[in-house]
């Protein structure tokens, strides 16, 4: 009797699941294909039970960043 062992080639890149990405993103979760944006807050804001002070930064979804930007909660970038 001969034993044959099937092996697969190791992946060169670890898989990143959607659940791993949402751990670092605050606010609404990312939709498929979106990448989070790093934003700095201009005013005090509470997101998901955590307080963010002016000057602090966080990763948020692009849609949420657009909403916060239109409401004046995101600091302007320096040129």
Q: Where are the domains of the chain?
A: 23-70
The per-residue pLDDT for 44 is 95
Cβ atoms of 30 and 16 closer than 8 Å: no
Q: Which two tokens stand for residue 4?
A: 């044959």
Burial 30-40 (b: 16+ CB within 10 A, else e): beeeeebbebe
The per-residue pLDDT for 4 is 73
Q: What's the first-to-final CA gap in the chain, in angstroms?
A: 73
Q: Which two tokens stand for residue 6?
A: 């099937």
Residue ranges of the chain whose pLDDT lies below 70: 1, 6-23, 77-79
Instruction: Enter the pTM of the model.
Output: 0.66
């Amino acid at each position: 009797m001969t034993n044959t062992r099937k092996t697969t080639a190791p992946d060169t890149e670890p898989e990143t699941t959607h659940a791993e990405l949402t751990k670092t993103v605050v606010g609404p979760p990312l939709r498929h294909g979106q990448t989070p944006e790093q934003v700095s807050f201009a005013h005090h804001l509470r997101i998901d039970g955590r307080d963010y002070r002016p000057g602090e930064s966080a990763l948020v979804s692009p849609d949420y960043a657009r909403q916060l930007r239109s409401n004046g909660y995101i600091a302007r970038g320096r040129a």
